[in-house]
Amino acid sequence: MSLSPLDDFPIHQAPQVMRHVATSDRNFYDRYYFNCHPGTDELMLIVGLGQYPNLGVTDAFACARRTNLHRVVRASRELGSDRMDTTVGPFRIEVIEGLKRLRVILEPNEHGLAFDLTWTGTIPATLEPRHFVRWQERVVFDSVRLAQTGRWSGTIVVGDDEIPVDGWQGTRDRSWGIRPVGEPEPPGIQVKNPGTFYWLYAPMQFDDHAILCIIQEDHKGRRVLEEAVRVWSDGREEEYLGRPGYHPVYAPGTRDVVEATITFDKIEVRCTPILPVHLMVGTGYGLEPDWKHGMYQGGEPVVQGVTYTLPEDAGRMWGMVDAVGRFEYDGQVGHGLFEYWALGPHPSFT
């Protein structure tokens, strides 16, 4: 064991130095996620930065969808001993005021995407239900996450264009715990997994409140995880909305959602994805065999850029979709994240 600057703070949770987590599970992670958009189909920026203490790696990515352009910058380095150091190549995250204001930076680089943005939460950061999945004796997910809607200020540079950001919307989350990361493991008995991931995540921002909704179901339609709360900007307590229902409409012959309805006990929200971003393309969430979150990229820091255009590269665009969403209920119109994936068998497809 060796000390790090974090050990000087009274925050220990286990008889370990702070750079070591309390579990030896290789899949432990600790991650930031942000998205930023003007509530239109012009541009969506997604940013993530994670640490993987038991793999000794930290990495980051930024993905911008602008008209027909899908541009990614990603970076990785060895984690080292100081977990307070959130720089990864040209990326950096600064916590200005915990749970309220953060600064997210991608310094100018050769890959045509950069930004300097400040986040201000519009609702209190809200702890979501614990996500726990055991499959074939192995704990696959055991994590917690906070969610928050907010506003952005600063600038984004895409190619030669510098775009001012003033009051743009977005959502963020912070999650930590266990989920599959890093290099693939031998599947063993997990080969029996039917490979289903039926998922909806929809944090919605309205004028004076937000609705946070999660639905995950298994291959038999059983609920694995759900959330349905309304959180007010003035800090009032969460209001449970009842069991959420999800009714998507797919483009013919696909699992691409063109519209959806989310129902709660007393309200019904109409959802329209207006700018889809394929989160898993280039970012490390799972498609590229040579770049996954937590994957060791070697002893020297690595920075890469990946750019695709649509419709030419449409064949690459599959997997989890993070879309700018338009949400309407009871005469109110809001925007937020409409994140969905329908992979594998599910009763709705029989």
Residue 107 has pLDDT above 90, yes or no: yes
Q: How confident is the model at residue 239 (pLDDT cuts 50, 70, 90)?
A: confident
Q: Tokens at residue 328, please?
A: 């309407």
DSSP one-letter string for 289-321: TT--TT----SS-EEEEEEEETTTTGGG--S-E
Residue 176 has pLDDT above 80, yes or no: yes
Rounded to whole angstroms, the Cα distance separating 272 from 102 reads: 29
Q: Find the mean pLDDT for residues 123-145.
A: 93
Residue 194 has pLDDT above 90, yes or no: no
227, 229, 234, 236: CA torsion to nearest 10: -110
Q: Which amino acid is at 178?
A: I
Q: What's residue 236's pLDDT? A: 86
In the chain, where the domains are located = 5-349
Q: Find the mean pLDDT for residues 333-340.
A: 98
CATH architecture of 5-349: Beta Barrel (2.40)
Q: How confident is the model at residue 186 (pLDDT cuts 50, 70, 90)?
A: confident
Do the beta carbons of residue 184 and residue 26 sit within 8 Å? no
Q: What's residue 213's pLDDT? A: 98
Q: Find the mean pLDDT for residues 296-323.
A: 95
State pTM to two decimals.
0.96
Q: What's residue 193's pLDDT? A: 73
pLDDT tens per residue, range 321-336: 999 999 999 999 999 9
- Strand ranges inside 179-331, DSSP E: 197-205, 209-217, 223-232, 239-240, 245-250, 257-263, 268-278, 302-309, 321-329
Residue 341 has pLDDT above 80, yes or no: yes
Q: What's residue 127's pLDDT? A: 95
Average pLDDT, the chain: 95
pLDDT tens per residue, range 11-23: 999 899 988 999 9
Q: What's residue 280's pLDDT? A: 95
Q: How confident is the model at residue 73 (pLDDT cuts 50, 70, 90)?
A: very high
Q: What's residue 128's pLDDT? A: 95
Q: Which long-range contacts (CB under 8 A, 24 or more apart) does 243-249 make?
A: 244/213, 244/214, 244/215, 246/200, 246/215, 248/200, 248/340, 248/342
Q: What's residue 28's pLDDT? A: 97
Q: Find the mean pLDDT for residues 144-148.
A: 97
Q: What's residue 195's pLDDT? A: 76
Q: Find the mean pLDDT for residues 161-176.
A: 97
With tokens 């060895």, the residue in question is 78
pLDDT tens per residue, range 256-303: 999 999 999 999 999 999 999 999 999 999 878 999 999 999 999 999
DSSP one-letter string for 11-62: ---SSS-TTS-S---TTEEEEEEEEEB-SSSSEEEEEEEEEETTTTEEEEEE
Q: What's residue 286's pLDDT? A: 82
